[in-house]
Amino acid sequence: MQIKHWITAFRLRTLPLSLSCVGMGAVLAAERKAFRTDLFLLCLVTTVFLQILSNLANDYGDSVHGADHHLRTGPKRMVQSGIISLNQMRFMVIVFALLSFVSGIALLWTAFHNDLFHWLVFLALGLLSIVAAITYTAGRKPYGYTGLGDLAVLIFFGFVGVDGSAYLFTRSFHAEMLLPALSCGLLAVGVLNINNLRDLESDAAAGKKSIPVRFGRKAGQYYHAVLIVVSVLSAAVYVMLNYRHVLQWLFLLVVPVLLRNVMAVAKKPSHELDPWLRQLAISTLIFVVLFAVGTLLS
């Protein structure tokens, strides 16, 4: 098995979403003078392992449950194409589940040492993250096939990814921190929604009841616009609540790019949507970088 095939299976183009949620959590910590490089690096490694785990499990699960078939318009999956066998993919899912667990344990030790209460709470969150990554499309009753994928992405790429990361640094939580978490979470849901619009026909044929399958393409396009607009508004409200300097509005520079994504999703046919998935993932990371620069320089 060539390494390039596994790299394809890892779907590295989705990693900006992982980097974005951890990055936003680190920004919130730095804003409160609590940033630590060791925690940040461990957060990054753990989140990347979880993202790759989710991608591998998705490749495996969609092949088993039939969502990856000849009607699918997205990039060929490794199991679907026969390049990687089910057994090989299952083994690699186990490997990355273990890597995520070990990295998570190192992260918790670095953050909490002997604090048993925080250990138990975050260990539970970590295990739940691993289970959620695997069971999105794998297992007997994958929740991605019932239309719950959007909610899971919002929770894990938004509230857990951002506010959970921030808490590891700060040991504190403020309700206003939910706003940037909501921004990251909704942008990540937007990436999933493009994926679901692209695969609408093949998902419907496989019984995968995503939002576009349940409510139709037009509803999925309107839904996408709402996701993007509310994500920007959430960040704007956070800035207004914590306003110090005009530089905090720097993140608005990415808004034209996000609006271009909305217009493309509204007009492009399924087979032309895939580049816009990658565009939104990268735009999300740029959004967070600009938010960070504006916050830390203000």
Q: Over the stretch 1-39, which tens digit does the pLDDT of each residue have?
A: 578 888 888 888 889 999 999 999 999 999 999 999 999
Contact predicate 279/224, CB 8 Å: no
User: Confidence class of residue 146 from pLDDT cuts 50, 70 and 90?
Assistant: confident
Query: Residue 180 pLDDT more than 70?
Result: yes
Domain ranges, ordered by start, for the chain: 8-297
The CA–CA distances, whole Å, from 289 to 22, 48, 97, 250 equal 11, 18, 29, 10
Rounded to 10 degrees, the C-alpha dihedral 146/20/229/240 comes to 130
CA nearest neighbour of 72 among 62, 85, 84: 62
Average the pLDDT over 201-210 and give the result. 87
CA pair distance 271, 273, nearest whole angstrom: 6
Q: What is residue 160's predicted lDDT score, i.e. its pLDDT?
A: 95
